[in-house]
Amino acid sequence: MARWEAFTQCPGCGYDLATGEGSRACSWGDCPYLPLELDVFCPTCRFNFMTFEGNTQCGHPRTCESGTEARSNVQNLRTWVEGHARP
């Protein structure tokens, strides 16, 4: 099992990793424990490749070079969300 598959959020955390919304149980902006394989936000402009929401700096989120790794993580996050659905 890959490290990202076993990842669990902190108790009391209401942050939705897929949408980037919700209340956090800590004061961090981003989850400090989130494995890189689940990060779907562009490191340059924070565009969300899972929801395709946000303001891109480049205007071409499907092809921008800064988002290559984040785009490749979308399927990992979808798989993780399916296995960790909250009641």
pLDDT tens, position by position, 49-72:
999 999 888 888 889 899 999 999
Q: Are 31 and 17 in contact (CB under 8 A)?
A: yes
pLDDT at 23: 87
Residue 86 contacts residue 10 (beta carbons within 8 Å): no
- What is the per-residue pLDDT across 6-63, written as a single tens digit (0 to 9) for each? 999 988 888 888 888 888 888 887 788 999 999 999 999 999 999 999 988 888 888 9
H or E element in which residue 77 lies:
helix 74-83
Any idea where the domains of the chain sit in the sequence? 1-7+34-87
How far apart are alpha carbons 2 and 76 in whole angstroms? Answer: 10
Report pTM.
0.85
